[in-house]
Structure 1
Amino acid sequence: MTQHPPVSVSDAAAEQAMAWFVRLRAETATPAEHDEFQRWYRADPAHRRAYAQTAAFWGDAEFGRALAAAELTAPPSPRLRVRRAVPALAAAACLTLLLAGYRPTLDCWRADYCTGVGEIKSFRLGDGSEVTLNSASAISVDLNDGLRRIELRQGEAFFDVQPEPQRPFQVSGRYSTVRVLGTRFAVREDSADASVSVVSGQVAVARPEAEPALLQAGDSITVAARRSGDIRHSPAAGGTAWLKGYAAFENAPLSEVVAELGRYRRGTLLIRGAPLRDLKISGRFDIRDTDKALESLQQTLPIRVTRLTPWLVLIGKNAQG
């Protein structure tokens, strides 16, 4: 694969290049539009660099998959007018540019409490318990006389539960149900499983048709649809590091680190090339400033971070690495 030297492309030039790339792929593009593009292309070397990067990245398989996913998940917008003749991935590119910065979630619309991407916020419930929601998270709350029910619709939440012996506190998700009287713990819902980490007290973690696992302070467990993992004990409570504003990793692959950082920023982070995904990393990264975290990775690993737009970042091999 040909390696290109690092270049600086502004966000404005990158967005214009993407818009031109999409427009010119339409069968209905007019000669006047082609002439206008040529004037834009020749006007500034930054325009030519931005367009070359856009065209190069378009052929990347990971880039295509990300744009296809954006097309499937982004809601319609009255500001978006895409001609039917534009290929599916081109339409997805438009969606990425126009919607990634403010995309709401269906779970947020039907939840009682929710947070946006990159937002961490605490809420006081009616029983005096406190819940802190991580980035892009949502819960529904039902506090009745016999049972305090919380549904974790998406994301991750930390609970500081007020003890009420006559009214247990229950947190349910797709894969697990956590039941307590009074304790401090976190629950995270991912696409394939859920994880529970206990800071203090004791919780029972159950999944359908299985005996519950009892977790003490410092314990954590991962629960999937068909099985539960072993209980892990880590007094450092790494599962709640996000409450202090950082993510911690020990000998983790770059793919895992990038996926975690991606939870705290809008848009998409893509790694080009399978070998880069397996690079091992240990350390702590500030989730409140993911650009700084990406810069730290670039300084310590043989990678180059390229910001194609504010919402699309490519991570590839450093030409000198």
Structure 2
Amino acid sequence: MTDQPSDRPTPAEPDARARARSEAMDWLIRLQCASAEDTEAFEHWLGAEPENAEAYVEAEALWNGAPLRQAAGVLHEQRKRSLGGRLRSHWKPLATAAVLLLGLFTFGNLPVRLQADHLTVVGERQRLQLDNGAKVLLNTNSAFASEVRDGHPVARLLQGEAYFEVAGQGQPPLEVQAGPLRASVRDTDFAVRYLDGEAQLRVQRGDVDLQGSADQRIRLSAGESISVGPAGFGPRQRPDMRQDLAWVDGRLIFENCPLSQVLAEVRRYYPGWIISHNAELEQVAVTGNYRLDQPLETLRALAHITSAQLHEYPALVILN
């Protein structure tokens, strides 16, 4: 009897993947305190076999939490048709795995995003105008919906960040919702960020009446900021609005911020993965003014001013 061709993987394939995963976990630990020789050896290993790069991205996902690990597993099978033959063969697994994992940030909260009228992807901003004339600027990776309810305009920030400009034209007050935050506004400019279950509001002009959980109420004035979580309001603050709202003008401004915080903010705008293994490096204070639509250039500048090594791959940047 003639053997029929089979689409099943050969025994060598799962063995190769198992070997790559084991080595990737070793590299993940080794790179926590990497020398220049370690980094050079890691780069050689990364490109040596097609499965190495994908295994490392999956290992990094495992290191950072279950959701990314699950995304890596679910999306693994889509890698061939996703990128086709556009990249050199030994970079395909790296680019595919990293890009597909990024889908978690854009589409992972699918029920929320299905409620949205407007969406932005990582690195994108979008300008809107509501029926009552209010102007809205959506920041990166955001989901937004609006409606008229009982004759009153309602804007809902479902995810991400938005800047509102509400003119005083005798219109009904605009109600703004973002998780636990409820705000009623007239003739004011302000920003709302809603991430990880906590909302933060910054008032640039005018006053904003806020309601939190348990019927807590507070009025914020220009120059003030406050956070609202499941437990209610945090302390009233007066932040540096030039720095905190620089994104509205397309900038990222940092003044004596630890590199870890800077990288966390840059990650919101970079359509790829940014990995840093050096805990001491992440505590270095950074001051700078960067364009938010050029995150890779920002990373290069950060590497230069901190004397760090930057290793660039398709959809992946490693800072050491």
**What amino acid sits opposite 2:315 in the alignment?**
W
Q: 1:222–1:114: structure 2 CA closer, same or farther, 3 Å change rule? A: same
Deviations 1:166-218 (A, max 9, x none): 62211112231122122111100121522111111100222111522211112
- 1:185 partner SS: strand
Alignment of structure 1 residues 250-269 onto 2, 5 Å: 250-269=255-274
Q: 1:169–1:21: structure 2 CA closer, same or farther, 3 Å change rule? A: farther
The answer for unaligned runs of 5 or more in structure 1 is: 1-19, 28-44, 82-91, 317-321
Q: Is the 8 A contact 2:94 2:314 kept in 1?
A: no
Q: 1:21–1:200: structure 2 CA closer, same or farther, 3 Å change rule? A: farther
Tell me the matched-pair count: 270
Alignment of structure 1 residues 63-78 onto 2, 5 Å: 64-66=62-64, 69-73=67-71, 76=75
Query: Which residue is 2:36 aligned to?
Result: none
Runs of 4+ in 1 over 3 A off after TM superposition: 20-23, 45-50, 52-55, 57-64, 66-69, 73-81, 92-95, 100-104, 162-166, 234-237
1:118 corresponds to 2:123: yes
Looking at structure 2, the residues matched to 215 and 237 of structure 1 have their Cα atoms a distance apart, in angstroms, of 18
Identity over the aligned pairs, expressed in percent? 28
Query: Which residue is 2:318 aligned to?
Result: 314
Deviations 1:268-296 (A, max 9, x none): 21210322222221222221101110111
TM-score, L = length of structure 2? 0.72
Deviations 1:71-112 (A, max 9, x none): 43477587347xxxxxxxxxx978634525766522443311
Q: Is the 8 A contact 1:169 1:179 kept in 2?
A: yes
Looking at structure 1, the residues matched to 245 and 59 of structure 2 have their Cα atoms a distance apart, in angstroms, of 34
CA RMSD of aligned residues (A): 3.6
Looking at structure 2, the residues matched to 284 and 153 of structure 1 have their Cα atoms a distance apart, in angstroms, of 29
Q: Is the 8 A contact 1:66 1:268 kept in 2?
A: no
Query: Which residue is 2:16 aligned to?
Result: 24
Q: 1:25–1:284: structure 2 CA closer, same or farther, 3 Å change rule? A: same
Query: Which residue is 1:304 aligned to?
Result: 309
Q: 1:58–1:244: structure 2 CA closer, same or farther, 3 Å change rule? A: same
Q: Is the 8 A contact 1:179 1:204 kept in 2?
A: yes
Alignment of structure 1 residues 134-145 onto 2, 5 Å: 134-145=139-150
**What amino acid sits opposite 1:153 in the alignment?**
L
How much does 1:312 deviate? Answer: 2.1
Looking at structure 2, the residues matched to 302 and 145 of structure 1 have their Cα atoms a distance apart, in angstroms, of 58
Deviations 1:248-279 (A, max 9, x none): 22221111100100001122212103222222
TM-score, L = length of structure 1? 0.72
Query: Which residue is 2:32 aligned to?
Result: none
The answer for unaligned runs of 5 or more in structure 2 is: 1-11, 20-40, 81-92
Which of the pair has the greater relative contact order for Cα pairs under 8 Å at 6+ separation?
1
**What amino acid sits opposite 1:160 in the alignment?**
E
